[in-house]
Amino acid sequence: MFLQLFFIYCALMIVASGVLAISLRNPVHCVLMVLVLFFHMAGLYLTLNAEFLAAVQIIVYAGAVLVLYLFVLFLVNLREELHIDAFIPSPWLGRGIATGLALALLAVLPSFTPGSKGQWSVEAVREMTHTVVMGQEMYSTYLLPFEIAGLILLVALLGGLVLARREENSFEALTKEAISSGCACTQSKEVSQ
């Protein structure tokens, strides 16, 4: 009973803080809403007996990622708001579709029956401890997805770098630079910016 109440509390808070995070005007408030969201996500992991994940969620997301977000917000000057034309002229169309989708999902979810359980029951996990089980599974059964996730991080880094870099070294400028200076490799890169 307590678990159910706790779950409902966490779920509602996640939805509410998620909606607030995208609708508030002040970016710092948005980031703080995301912080609230991360804490309640950690709460959800606790209800699933995943204490390690809950701790990682708090340390990595609430601790590190959010602080980074805040740093970026303070460094970037966000005085001007960027306005882009809406995809769909009327916002009510989107809201209607969203409500319809939510209602349809709520209507079908009661008929949900959990499928067969895998080899890791709660008792088995408790016996080996959560962290050991997760480490073993991740580096054996789920090695391939784990490595692909690592590759995705590399791509995110590369993509972020490409998008953030100032575009001034054009073809001509670069070839001139390469001809005039013997070692253009260090100057032509603006990775440090």
Q: Which is nearer to other proteins, 5 or 107 (CB)?
A: 107
User: Backbone phi, then psi, for 4, in 5-degree steps?
Assistant: -65, -45
Binding mask 155-184 for other proteins (x = CB under 8 A): xx-xxxxxx---x-xxxx-x---x-----x
Which of 104, 124, 128, 138 binds other proteins (CB under 8 A)? It is 104
Q: Which is nearer to other proteins, 67 or 143 (CB)?
A: 143
Q: CA-to-CA distance for 146 and 163, rounded, in angstroms?
A: 26
Q: Is 64 in the site for other proteins (CB under 8 A)?
A: no
- CA-angle at 54, arms to 20 and 34, nearest 5°: 15
**Candidates 54-62, 65-73, 84-92, 121-129 — which segment interacts with other proteins by CB under 8 A?**
84-92
- CA-angle at 53, arms to 51 and 58, nearest 5°: 95
Q: Is 84 in the site for other proteins (CB under 8 A)?
A: yes
Q: How would you class 66 by CB atoms within 10 Å of its CB: exposed for 0-12, middle for 13-18, buried for 19 or more? A: middle
- Give me 64's structure tokens: 């590190």
The binding site for other proteins (CB under 8 A) comprises 84, 87-88, 104-105, 107-109, 111-118, 140-145, 148-149, 151-152, 154-156, 158-163, 167, 169-172, 174, 178, 184-185, 188-189
